[in-house]
Every structure is written in structure tokens, then in C-alpha cells.
Structure 1
Amino acid sequence: MEQVAYRAGGTAADTGGRRPASGWRRRTGWLDAVLIEAGRALRILDGSVAHERANPAGPAAADDPVLSEAESRHAAGLMRVNHVGEICAQALYRGQALLCRDEGIRRVLLRAAEEEVDHLAWCRQRLDELHDRPSLLNPLWYAGSFGLGLAASRAGIPYNLGFMAETERQVEEHLDGHLNELPQQDRRSRRVVTQMRDDEIGHRTTAEDHGAVPLPAPVRGAMRLMSKVMTMTAYRV
């Protein structure tokens, strides 16, 4: 990693090889970026990445409804799918941001990724409460989505944002479906899913406001197919 000397009102070339009193700054290169993303991926996958917002379900209470074994198992399957969805979204947006040269759009992608970290934590907490686990295939989901994000970033800013908007549109539909499927008495899972859906709507409108364009129909169809495969697999594995 390269260190570059600097001083107020001057450049590295102005130092004449001498170390200025103001110290050093480090120039981030590709190796730094790759190592940062690798470390981030490990923290996401092991559940140790820090999140910002409190769980919308609030603390568990003694009067929370008790789910039957079948209801608990079904709720856990749905929350595992939601957790995988957030793994994919986190990886997708960070992959897009890595190669994005527009700093404003890059911030939009990274901000969305940060909110997906909140979702990850909430889903993981609910899975723990239901005495269940995340998907065993999470490393595969993350790697595939990160690679997809890298590829999407090369399509240009409008389509890059269009990919984000379409992803969130499909996630909204998916979460609405889960609100219909979750046991009515499972208030804790429903509160988490409701807040997640509201956040995803915000991500979609943000992408649209920044110039997202609709994706071609074959691309949208391929995304739906991939989502269906992921959903069916993650519910069980």
C-alpha cells in the first residue's frame, strides 16, 4: 500500500522527498479495495457486521403469542429466505459500487447497502428467536450476487440504477407475499418484514429519482427466475 506525503497548499511533488510535518495520507488502491470487500464479506456472513437501527420488532415480551411447531418452522423458512435476500442485496450493491466512477451514485449504492445490513441483523435475530439458522449456502449467494453487481456496473449509470430499481421492485412483491404467508399471530416477524418492505420502496424510488431506466424484459425475466430458484432453495437449506 502506497503512502503519499502531503502538506497544506502543496502536493507530494512539493515535498522534495522530505517528510512534511503534517504527516502522511494513504492512497487506496485496488488491493486495498479488494481486501476491504473481503473483510466486509466475512463479517456479513458470520453476522458480526455492525448495524445502525434497532429491531422494529422490539424486545421479546412474555405476552408474545406462542407459535405452533408448524407455524414456527414455516416462519423460520420465510425469514431465512428474507435473510438470503438481504445477503444478495448487500453483495449486489457493494459489487456495483466498487466499479462505479460517479461518487454521488456510489454513495446511493453504499447507503442502500448499509440499510440492508440492518435487515440482515433483524432477520438473523428473528431466526435465533425461532431456534433456526441462516442458509448454509450464504457464501455462494454472496459471491454470485457480488459478481452480478460487478457485471451490472459496466452497463452505465442509468442501467446500473435500473438494476437497483428492478431488484427492489421484485423484493417489494416478495415481501408483500410473505406478509400474506406469515402466521397472523407472528407479530414479531411481521413487524420486521413490514419495515424491510418500506425501506425497499425507498431504495427503489431513490434509484428512480437518480435516473434509473427500465431494464429489458428478458433481463427482468431472468432476475425473476433467479429469485425463484433462490427462494425455493433457501426456504429449506
Structure 2
Amino acid sequence: MTAARQITPLDHLLTQAQRALDTVFGNPPASRPYPAQAAEVVLDAGQRRHAAGLMRINHVGEVCAQGLYFGQAAVAREAQTRAHLLEAAQEETDHLAWCARRLRELDSRPSLFNPVWYAGSYTIGTLAGLRGDGWNLGFVVETERQVEAHLEEHLLTLPAGDLRSREILAVMKVDEARHADHAEHAGARRLPFPIPAVMALASKVMKTIAYRV
């Protein structure tokens, strides 16, 4: 029998590079059906532009989630923590694919700054992971709670007729809450001040830019 090939640091580096390219420039497929089943309605130019801006923000959020989780998983100390992070990342891949598809339906495109968003999130995820798995999971909880809040805001501010975007965001919101709950149960540590505030400020800057470009 041929001995199993040992995974080298170069293998890990190439895996991370492939994940980054797939997230930022590729079109990774979703593993679950597309949630948007309502009939498409005609939106005026302003409504379409606003809906596209919100969905671009959500797409950027999923790019950031991929970077954060892959960065954290790369340095996670426990196999169970790594598995939790990669499982959450798979569901975020579904969200990424759904948001990208909805942007195409709205005749729009993802943010031009996605490479920057991914690189920054991967760096933050790696630094969080190096502090230990409790901090690692704590970042998951805080990230998902903030994402859950802005999804609720988007559900309230989308054009009334844009039911397709609402269907997507409703499923995403349930997933994000579950990711946070699982991380809490797995031993997440509460992040100290001012980390949550800094995360919220960075999110606000990202949303302002991504809404337009």
C-alpha cells in the first residue's frame, strides 16, 4: 500500500490561496436551493439601485465571513473548533452564491473592493485565532450578532416589492443566529471593550463604501 501523503505548509498555503480566489473572483456554487421563490416584480430605477446596494453590502459581508472563518480555521488549535469554523464557512458560501445571483437579477455587480475586504478579514481572523480557540469563537459570536442586526435592518429598508431579496435575507438571518449560538455553546469568550465597538465601526465603513461600489 502507498503511504498517505503528508500535508506540507505549501499545501496549506495553496489551499488558502485557492479559497481566496474562489471567494473573491470565482462563483462558488451553493449547496442548498436558492431561497428566492417569489415572482420578480418591476422596481423603479431608484428602488432597484437601493436593493442592489443592500445586496452588495450583504455579498461583501459574506466575503468578509469567508475570510474571517478561513483565517481562524487556519490557526485553530482544536480539531473541533476548526470543524465548526469550516462548517459555518460552507453555509456562508451558500449566502455568497445567493447574494451574487440576486445582484445579477438586479442588473448589478459585487463590490470592486472585495479583494481588500477579504484580505482584511482573513488577517483579523488569523490574529483572533492566534489568541486561542475561546477568542476565536468569541469573534464568531460577535460577528454573527452584528450581521444578524444589519440583516434585520435590511429586511425593514428593502423596497416593499422586493420579496425575492427578503426571502434570501430571512434564511441568512436564521443561519447567522445559529452560527452564533453554536459558537457560544462551544466555549466562546466574550470579547472585551473596545473590540466589539471597533468591529461595528469597521462594519459601518464597509457598508458605506460597498453600498456604492
Looking at structure 1, the residues matched to 50 and 162 of structure 2 have their Cα atoms a distance apart, in angstroms, of 11
The separation in 2 between residues aligned to 1:47 and 1:66, in whole angstroms, is 29
The percent of aligned pairs where both chains have the same amino acid is 52
Tell me how far apart the structure 1 counterparts of residues 171 and 29 of structure 2 sit (CA, whole Å): 18
1:165 pairs with 2:141: yes
In structure 2, stretches of 5+ residues that fail to align are: none
Equivalent position of 2:158 in the other structure: 182
Counterparts of 1:142 and 1:158 in 2: how far apart (Å)?
A: 23
8 Å Cα contact 1:40-1:49 kept in structure 2: no
- Does the CA-based 8 Å contact 2:64-2:118 persist in structure 1? yes
Q: CA deviation at 1:24?
A: 3.0
1:46 paired residue number: 25
| Higher RCO by CA contacts (8 Å cutoff, separation 6 or greater) | 2
Q: Residue 70 of structure 1 corresponds to which residue in structure 2?
A: 46
**Per the alignment, in what secondary structure is the counterpart of residue 53 of structure 1?**
coil
1:225 is aligned to 201
Q: Say yes or no: does 1:128 pair with 2:107.
A: no
| 2:35 paired with 1:56 | yes
- Secondary structure of 1:27's aligned partner: coil
**Of the candidates 23, 28, 35, which is equivalent to residue 7 of structure 2?**
28
| Distance (whole Å) between structure 2 residues aligned to residue 197 and residue 85 of structure 1 | 12
Does residue 88 of structure 1 match 2:67? no
Max radius of gyration: which structure? 1
TM-score by length of 2: 0.97
Confirm or deny that 1:110 pairs with 2:86.
Answer: yes
- RMSD across aligned positions (CA): 1.0
Contact 1:158 1:213 (C-alpha < 8 Å) held by counterparts = yes
Moved over 6 A (4+): none
In 1, the alpha carbon distance for the partners of 2:189 and 2:4 equals 39
Counterpart in the other structure of 2:130: 154
What CA distance in whole angstroms lies between the structure 2 residues aligned with 1:127 and 1:233?
A: 16
The CA distance in 2 between the partners of 1:206 and 1:75, in whole Å, is: 31
- Secondary structure of 1:24's partner? coil
Could you say which structure has the higher helix fraction? 2
The letter of the residue matching 1:92 is L
Is the Cα contact below 8 Å between 2:77 and 2:133 reproduced in 1?
Answer: no
Residue type matched to 2:36 in 1? A
- CA separation in 2, counterparts of 1:77 and 1:51? 22
Could you tell me how far 1:48 is from its partner in structure 2?
2.5
Cα distance in 2, alignment partners of residues 51 and 133 from structure 1: 18
- For structure 1, the 5+ residue unaligned runs are 1-21
* Residue deviations 1:129-177 (CA, integer Å, cap 9, x gap): 0000000000010011001110000111111111100000000101000
**In terms of mean alpha carbon deviation, does 23-32 or 95-104 score higher?**
23-32
Q: CA–CA distance in 2 between the matches of 1:191 and 1:47?
A: 24
Say how many residue pairs are matched: 213
Deviation at 1:207, TM superposition (A): 0.3
Question: What is the alpha-carbon distance in structure 2 between the residues aligned to residue 159 and residue 40 of structure 1?
Answer: 23
Does 23-32 or 46-55 show the bigger shift? 46-55
CA deviation vs aligned residue, 1:181-234 (integer Å, no higher than 9, x gap)? 101110000000111011000000000010112111200110000000000000
